[in-house]
Amino acid sequence: MSECARVIISCCRIALHSCYQVLCCKDPPASCLEYDILCIGLTNAGKSTLLCQLLDENTNKVTPTSGFNIRAVQFEKAILNVKELGGGEGIRKYWSRYYQGSQGVIFVLDSASNEEDLEEARLELHCALQHPQLCTLPFLIFANHQDKLDARSIPEDCGRAGAEWKRTLWKGGNTNSRV
């Protein structure tokens, strides 16, 4: 794995830790606290690969998630139970069934996607931001595939996405295992 990929994964871990700090308003007790985090995004945005990299697992044989997948990301003082939901069109209509109990959201965006897919991602993010069970939660938008030539910059994505994205935490990165 290249040095660039390691730096990006470290930044993502820092961002997840920041989400943890937002969720916890006081010093945690000696034992590990657990938080339920939702990870959503369109198909092939890189959700599964992101989780594999956060867990220091091999990313060469990652397959798209059909349904959902729950992974525990361990930090020194917290465990983030990340519920990754498949991003296929047939699965997205069921996302809201998994929202209950979530304490934060990671929205993975393919920053190299075409205009049509970017608009579809914007609509899905807008629905999530407006949902009663998610509208008060911290959101991390991970603009993935920054290593691709046609990748948009984060400000470019934000400008196209609309005002509702402004209250979220943006993080750019790459989960391509062949960096």
Contact 107, 125 (CB under 8 A): yes
Question: Is there a binding annotation on residue 162?
Answer: no
Question: Is there a binding annotation on residue 46?
Answer: yes
Question: Is there a binding annotation on residue 96?
Answer: no
Question: Is there a binding annotation on residue 147?
Answer: yes
Question: Is there a binding annotation on residue 121?
Answer: no
Question: Is there a binding annotation on residue 166?
Answer: no
Q: Which residues contact 114 (CB under 8 A, 6 or more apart)?
A: none
Question: Is there a binding annotation on residue 49?
Answer: no
Question: Is there a binding annotation on residue 65?
Answer: yes
Pick from 103, 75, 70, 69: which is nearest to 14 by CA?
Answer: 75
Question: Is there a binding annotation on residue 144?
Answer: yes
Question: Is there a binding annotation on residue 45?
Answer: yes
Question: Is there a binding annotation on residue 103?
Answer: no
Residue 70 to residue 24: CA distance in whole angstroms: 21
Residue 177 to residue 58: CA distance in whole angstroms: 8
Residue 118, φ and ψ in degrees, nearest 5: -65, -40
Question: Is there a binding annotation on residue 87?
Answer: yes
**Residues within the annotated binding site for GTP?**
41-48, 87, 144-147
**Residues within the annotated binding site?**
41-48, 65, 87, 144-147
**Residues within the annotated binding site for Mg(2+)?**
48, 65
